Amino acid sequence: MLLRTLGTAAGGGVPQWNCACPGCTGARRHPDRRRRHDSLAVLSEGAATWCLVNAGPDTAEQIEAHPELRPGSGQRRTPVVRIILTDAELDHTLGLLRLREAEHLEIFATRPVREALRERLGLDHVLTPYTTATWRDLPLPGMAPATEVAGLRISAIPLSTKRPRYACDAPVDDCWVVAVRIEDPGHRTTALYAPALATWSDAFEKAVAEADCVFLDGTFWDNEEPRHTGISGRTATSMGHLPVAGAEGTAERLAHVAARCLYTHLNNTNPLVDPTAPQHAQLAALGLEVAQDGMLISL
């Protein structure tokens, strides 16, 4: 199984167009620090097409940046694009509109995510004149068998009831935000992708322990980051993101995990967007990494 990190930033990317914080200013001065919206491309050995996990507003640029994701020689249009969604947030779903030139979209999502996108945002109405879209359930462990997708087995781990702002009055459901579990049965390897993590549940603990590679929410370095940077009056945890460091953080938990662990979904305020920041050494001492745009991991 091949994993290509197409992007590793939280909503808005790094730099954000309307921000001049140190992270954004540094990314403008040093282009190698730029990060696109978090997304992952996955390919099983022997498969012809990649699957995308999340599709942000820069998804077309992400695909074009990697030759292996481009259409084959002589193809007028990409026949099928398969997208797996971790939630219904705009920074993970606006790319569905950018992918409308495909002949067919196959979209895997949990029920509340699917309903929000189809009924609240009216994606079916917008996409129908351009392409055909098939919506498929993203199964939950113990409730349905994993879905077979291009030689991989896909399932979801419920993480949070956090709803996107445009659906803030929608019914509460544990599956608004999920981690995606991707298994390659041929090689018996598993990847776990969780760019938004509000709580560390027993089910998530089990999924992490069984994985060979884990991509985890790295939105904020510590719980007070949103407050002391002035972007919010709330803490990281109250915004639906466990921080990396501190008493509420995930770094100490991951330090005892056998899997390769990488942080993704970095906010522009996170000191980790600066490769010279001392926080990188703290993570390295624990055996942890910060994912970079364009990384290729083979499992």
The dihedral formed by the CA atoms of 145, 4, 217 and 291, expressed in degrees to the nearest 10: 150
pLDDT at 76 over 70: no
What is the residue range of 195's domain?
2-294
pLDDT reported for residue 75? 67
**Residue 299 domain-assigned (yes or no):** no
pLDDT at 141 over 90: no
pLDDT reported for residue 47? 75
How close are the terminal C-alpha atoms of the chain, in Å? Answer: 5
**Residue 157 domain-assigned (yes or no):** yes
**Residue 221 domain-assigned (yes or no):** yes
- Read off the amino acid at residue 202: D
Q: Work out the burial of residue 6: count CB atoms within 10 Å of its CB; fewer than 13 is exposed, 13-18 middle, 19 or more buried.
A: buried
Q: Is residue 80 very low, low, confident or very high in pLDDT (cuts 50, 70, 90)? A: confident
The dihedral formed by the CA atoms of 203, 149, 3 and 47, expressed in degrees to the nearest 10: 150
Give the H or E element holding residue 214.
strand 213-217
pLDDT digit string, tens, across residues 84-138: 999 999 999 999 999 999 989 999 999 999 999 999 999 999 999 999 999 999 9
Q: Provide the residue count of the chain.
A: 299
**Residue 85 domain-assigned (yes or no):** yes
**Residue 29 domain-assigned (yes or no):** yes
Contact 271, 279 (CB under 8 A): yes
Identify the residue whose tokens are 């956090």: 162
Q: From its phi and psi, is residue 57 left (phi > 0), alpha (psi between -120 and 50) or beta?
A: alpha
The domain tally of the chain equals 1
Q: What is the mean pLDDT of residues 25-41?
A: 97
CATH assignment at residue 39: 3.60.15.10
**Residue 27 domain-assigned (yes or no):** yes
Going from the C-alpha of 280 to that of each of 11, 56, 263, the distances in angstroms are: 22, 26, 11
Judging by DSSP bridges, how do beta strands 80-84 and 260-264 pair with one another? unpaired
